Amino acid sequence: MRIKSFIITSLILFILGILGVSLNRTNLILLLMSVELMLLAASFLFIIASSFFDILFGQIFTIIVLTVAAAESAIGLAIIVTYFRIRGKISIKLLNTLKG
């Protein structure tokens, strides 16, 4: 297995996450999951790089990113739950009260 296929896989994952964020128009949870996917793809890249170049920092970073992702998803879900309590819906289309 070459490193190229690993990187391409993680990039595809990252792009899928981006597309999930930008094209998703319905569900707020889906958005949060796409962000998680992006973070995972990034940490995957870190791991690939650390094992390929034989440097430990990438794996340390991955663990930190995992904690950050966990915290982020916890806070994000908390916000969504609070939002749901107020509005009763979590559709992204209805999140347009702040206009430029």
Partner 1 sequence: MYILIILLPLISSLVILLLGRNFGVRGSNHFSLLCLGIANLLSCFSYYETVILKSSIHINLFNWIPLNLFDASINFHVDSISGGMILIVNMVSFLVHLYSTSYMEGDPHSCRFMGYLSLFTFFMLVLVSSQNYVQLFIGWEGVGLCSYLLINYWFGRLQANKAAIKAMLVNRVGDAALIAGVMLIWYNYGTVNFHSIFPSNQNFASTLIPIFLLIGAVGKSAQFGLHTWLPDAMEGPTPVSALIHAATMVTAGVYLIIRSSSLFEASSIALIVTGLIGAITALFAATIGLAQNDIKKIIAYSTCSQLGFMVLACGISYYSVGLFHLINHAFFKALLFLGAGSVIHAMVDEQDIRKMGSTVLSLPLSSVFILIGSLALAGTPFMTGYYSKDLLLELSTKQYYLIIVCWLGLIATLLTAFYSFKLINRTFMLYQNSPKNWWTVAHEGKFNLLFPLFVLSMGSIFFGYFFKDPILGSVIHPNLSVLVKLTPLLLSGLGVLAGLFIFLITKNLWNLFFSFNIIKPYDFLVTAWGFDKIISTFLVSPLWKFGYKTSLKLFDLGIVETIGPFGLSKRVVLLTQNLSKLQPGYLFNYAIIMILFASIFILIN
Please state, in angstroms and rounded to a whole number, the distance separating the CA atoms of residues 87 and 94: 9
Say if residues 54 and 75 touch (Cβ distance below 8 Å).
Answer: no
Which stretches of the chain bind partner 1, using CB under 8 A?
A: 18, 21-25, 31, 92-93, 95-100
Q: Work out the widest C-alpha separation in the chain, in whole angstroms.
A: 51
Q: Judged by CB, which is closer to partner 1: 4, or 99?
A: 99
Q: In the complex, what is the shortest distance from the CB of residue 69 to partner 1, in angstroms, rounded to a whole number? A: 18
Q: Judged by CB, which is closer to partner 1: 24, or 73?
A: 24
Say if residues 10 and 45 touch (Cβ distance below 8 Å).
Answer: yes
Q: In the complex, what is the shortest distance from the CB of residue 23 to partner 1, in angstroms, rounded to a whole number? A: 7
Say if residues 24 and 37 touch (Cβ distance below 8 Å).
Answer: no
Q: Judged by CB, which is closer to partner 1: 85, or 93?
A: 93
Q: In the complex, what is the shortest distance from the CB of residue 13 to partner 1, in angstroms, rounded to a whole number? A: 15
